[in-house]
Chains A and B, each alone.
Chain A
Amino acid sequence: MSRGKKLFALSLLTFVVLIVVGASYSGHHGDPTGAVTGTATDVIGAQGLSGDTVPVSQVGINALANETGHLHVAVNFSWLLMTGYLVLFMQVGFAFLVTGLTRAKNAGHMMMMNVAAFAIALVAYYAVGFAFHFGGVAPVSNLGGLGPLTGLFGHGNAGVIGTHGFFLQSGHGYDVGVMAMFLFQVVFMETAGYIIIGAIAERISFAGFILAELAMGAIIYPIYGNWLWGGGWMAHLGTSLHWAHGAVDFAGSGVVHATGGWAALALALVLGPRIGKFNKDGTPNAIPGHNIGYVVIGTMILLFGWMGFNPGSTFGATDLRISVVAVNTLLSACFGFIAAMAWTNAKYGKPDISMSCNGMLAGLVAITAPCAFVAPWAASVIGLIAGFLVCYSVWFFDHVAHVDDPCGAISVHGVNGAWGVLSLGIFADGTYGAGWNGVSGNVKGLLYGDAGQLAAQAAHVVVGFIWAFGVTYGIFKVAGRFMKIRVSAEAEIEGLDMPEFGALCYPDFQLVSSAVGHAPQGSPPRPTSAVAAGTDVGGRS
């Protein structure tokens, strides 16, 4: 079959599938118009009372209460959607960040990956990912209950995967609450989806990349997410093993960032380093990015977007803890930046711009899990440690592990995601989180007397690593036998814009690197082509 015919057949098939989905779920028992979401029940529930305590005869009061309940949920919808849009905007920041940190000859490829990631992973999450993730998350009181999402495979404490909400329709998923939840959660998934771009940059084939995004949107992110946020077994370590509140992850240091970071590590290992990154003796070469301005713009946009990422994770503005969350997030970001700036200045003589920006992102990633549970001083400490940690980690992956991670995705998101999860188990101060994961009392860390919480957090780190790294590594080891997941050496040296997409990002400029591709120790200058310079051609497994 010709390519045209294949494309036509594929389009037709997609069309048919969507029609079938629409026809199969034509009976709506959810709440597609939003008219009955938000009632007196929500007000009574918010007061900690049960429906039985309010006399049914009080019709007028009930009508008033219904209106209040509707407003309660409406405020929360507004908050959730607005913060979701902020998280969506982080995609722009990431596109700037990773394109700036790579070479001009690949800029079109980098930008295309960022926008394609959004569309492809979104479709995968819409089809199956959301159902796997949140198909059994109900009840969520801030959003009117999310009544349709009651399908969870695995009983009691042993939930492993959600089963309602495929194509946002199965299990009566056509519902305003479900849609609000989907919008907020899909942009979170996109975050894990674009994190990997940082580590696979400048060498992955576009086909390999599409596979990675499909896997992330349909399997890797949603299933692990279910274990933490969808009612799954990790969240129930408190009720099953009596480890405090079970694994707690407020906005996803582990669920989102570490998952993305460890998947990035697996992909970087399978792909091997870029040509010219490492010498034959394993010593690394610097391959400077082409636009530090983009790196700074991207970092600032991500900081702004994080004001949705963390405070939005309350699922509602009626939870006034949002201000604490927002301020903790800013504190950690700034302390992370300062730590990385100070470290690079002390160690290398000048503050490194891109590492300082990575420090800010490290602070943001680390505070994402504990942001709602810690005091401002603790948020500052968490950010400070994150800033140092990211500098050390980037050095470690370059000089010791010899893993080529052009944008520091593994260090920023993987390592600091893990640190953020653990820090919750240390610094949570017992002022928030009553009844979290079905365990009574507030969430407390080691410093406030609950070692069980730290144990649950450690389990979160370990299980998260095994899942994200293992599944990604497995998928790409197998896929590598059937498809080209890395571009040819020729394309890599020329730059991927033309071979992969037929269009240069900067067609009016002559792209020459002045400083690329070999170690400085006393070697005479050589041609800028790394291959001509005799460096190791990136290993491909």
Chain B
Amino acid sequence: MKLITAIIKPFKLDDVKTALTELGLGGITVTEARGFGRQRGHTEVYRGTEYNVDYVPKVCVEVLVDDDDALRFADAIVEAARTGQIGDGKVWITQVETVIRVRTGEMGSDAI
């Protein structure tokens, strides 16, 4: 099993959810997140003084999938979240040892 983690622009969340649902998404976890990448945030002016917005608001999406589905799902996220502008975010895939469904105690693929 794999864990797909995606950091995306908040307004792209609906597009990502729609795309994943079409692929038969089992479940999704969404967290509000803030951070920066290579641009180191951006600059604004407040009452005549410049300041950095260091930590740009993002959404963190986490999806658990079977090994075979991982790339398809990750690609779908990348396609749905892309605007072509800076700050589109990142997607990464990590190996997951096991998964347990809390209510039934099912393990592994059955729990996804």
Q: Which residues of A contact B (CB under 8 A)?
A: 284-286, 288, 344, 347-350, 352, 354-355, 358, 391, 394-395, 398-399, 408, 514-516, 518-520, 524-526, 528
Complex interface residues of chain B between 18 and 77 (CB less than 8 A to chain A): 34, 36, 40-41, 43-55, 57
Chain B residues with CB under 8 Å of A526's CB are 54
A514–B49 touching, CB < 8 Å: no
Chain B residues with CB under 8 Å of A284's CB are 49
Chain A residues with CB under 8 Å of B46's CB are 286, 288, 352, 354
Cα of A235 to Cα of B44 in the assembled complex, Å: 47
A514–B53 touching, CB < 8 Å: yes
Chain B residues with CB under 8 Å of A398's CB are 47-49
Chain A residues with CB under 8 Å of B36's CB are 525
B45–A349 touching, CB < 8 Å: yes
A354–B52 touching, CB < 8 Å: no
A515–B44 touching, CB < 8 Å: yes
A352–B45 touching, CB < 8 Å: yes
Cα of A496 to Cα of B15 in the assembled complex, Å: 42
Across chains A and B, the number of contacting residue pairs, with CB separation under 8 Å, is 67
Distance from A405 Cβ to chain B, minimum over Cβ atoms (Å): 10
Chain B residues with CB under 8 Å of A347's CB are 48
Cα of A518 to Cα of B51 in the assembled complex, Å: 7
Chain A residues with CB under 8 Å of B41's CB are 515, 525
Distance from B75 Cβ to chain A, minimum over Cβ atoms (Å): 31
Task: Provide the main secondary structure of the chain A interface.
Answer: loop
Chain B residues with CB under 8 Å of A518's CB are 52
Distance from B101 Cβ to chain A, minimum over Cβ atoms (Å): 30
Chain B residues with CB under 8 Å of A355's CB are 47-48
Q: Which 8 A-B pairs have the closest CB atoms?
A: A286-B51, A286-B46, A525-B54, A348-B45, A286-B49, A395-B48, A520-B52, A515-B53
Which residue of chain B has its CB nearest to the CB of A398? B49
B50–A352 touching, CB < 8 Å: no
B48–A520 touching, CB < 8 Å: no
Which of these, B34, B47, B55, contacts A286 with CB under 8 Å?
A: B47
Cα of A213 to Cα of B38 in the assembled complex, Å: 50
A514–B47 touching, CB < 8 Å: no
Distance from A445 Cβ to chain B, minimum over Cβ atoms (Å): 32
Chain B residues with CB under 8 Å of A520's CB are 43, 50-52
CB within 8 Å for A286 and B53 given contacts A524-B40, A525-B36 = no
Which residue of chain A has its CB nearest to the CB of B57? A514
Which residue of chain B has its CB nearest to the CB of A288? B46
In addition to A286-B50, A514-B53, A519-B50, 17 A-B residue pairs with Cβ atoms within 8 Å of each other are A284-B49, A285-B49, A286-B46, A344-B48, A352-B46, A352-B48, A354-B46, A391-B48, A398-B48, A516-B51, A518-B52, A519-B51, A520-B43, A525-B36, A525-B40, A525-B52, A525-B54
CB within 8 Å for A514 and B34 given contacts A352-B46, A355-B47, A408-B47 = yes
